[in-house]
Structure 1
Amino acid sequence: MKQHKAVVVFSGGQDSTTCLFWAMQRFGEVEAVTFDYGQRHRLELDCAAQIAKEQKVRHHVLDMALLNQLAPNALTRQDISIEHDEGALPTTFVDGRNLLFLTFAAILAKQIGARHIVTGVCETDFSGYPDCRDVFIKSLNVTLNLAMEYPFVIETPLMWLTKADTWRMADELGVLEYVRERTLTCYNGIVAEGCGECPSCLLRKKGLEEYLLKKKEGLSDDSTNLSIRRPSFLL
């Protein structure tokens, strides 16, 4: 697919950064799009911009402030605590976020001649978010194609991976330490290892520990490589 162009929905977190490197290996030209929706920790925008700059990827930032106004949530409001009670959606769930993000990413993609939209959503470790499910992505893909008369392909390289598998993908891409040290996943806005206490940090840490243990014990299955070759784009 080296002759094709892709747009990566990019937050500067572990998943989207792994997807960025996956896309850079797979497609001939890659651009990234980040959404400013009034997230609590503005460092997320800076982190995404810095990674895109280091990797020489054209970076778009789109204003989605209306989403904050319409869907109050723990990621944008200091007065809403981060909670995930059994049987209820997490307070970090933002109604319509992936629907809007992917729709605007598609509009951008068509303007720049890209047919592939890459997103790091995952149904295996999806934290209960309904808009991370495969059925939603497939449905939206059809809708976008019909709405704009354009053959989009929404790529979801992490859809069926555990967090440990995602770390393995980063390692196979040759960027595990880069992802580990430069990305922002923490709900409390701390780069790299994060606060170590929020749900996002706990999931990230658990996955890394599981992967490193398997790697140490030689249990990684080389027959299911998640990448093709080591990339040459790291600075």
Structure 2
Amino acid sequence: MIKVICMGDSITEGFGVEPSESYPSVLQNLLGEEYRVVNKGVCCTTALNVENEKGVMGMPYMREVRYREALQEKGDIYVVMLGTNDAQDGMDDTQDFKYEQNDMISRKADFVPCYRQILQAVKAASPGAVIYAGLPIPVQECIWRKHQESYLKEIRACIKEAAAAEGVSLLDIEGAFAALPKEEQLKLYQEDNLHPNQEGYKLIARTVAGVLKNKRHDFT
């Protein structure tokens, strides 16, 4: 049995839907009994693992129990999809006020080293594993103004840089959404215009499944 470990934030954990509707759960159904898909996503987490004079910024995935569990799983395939929560500036939704501890985009220079640290940890834990770095889905007109697609474009470029440096393949989740007309994209999101709905999670799962099946990984 091939073990697939899904690491990431709320878009991996399955925010806003039933556990059976998260993309890892749908992926399990698509891949079938030859695979075991494990969901190690944690809502609100960032790839960035940095501090300032006030303490830890954001909610680093690397400090979460599920991160350690993901490494302990010794998977055959790892799908890492982080970056959405790194693409925020900490602005309050209504007031002209910035929460400094959530101004993650201000620490963009630290993103590549942090993301590489995650990839390196996976390699060290499971030397034979195939690793994919997922490019996060587009941010639409999000109800939380701190989340901006312009920031996420910068973060995707950082993910590409980190993946190239570590010899890790990219998984173009963004492209699967961006290929659709705007009105069709919007139908794949919850009301917050940040998280996918059931149909959006299905598209993520189909995209991941298509890559895994086409690669025909042999772990025998």
TM-score, normalization by structure 2? 0.42
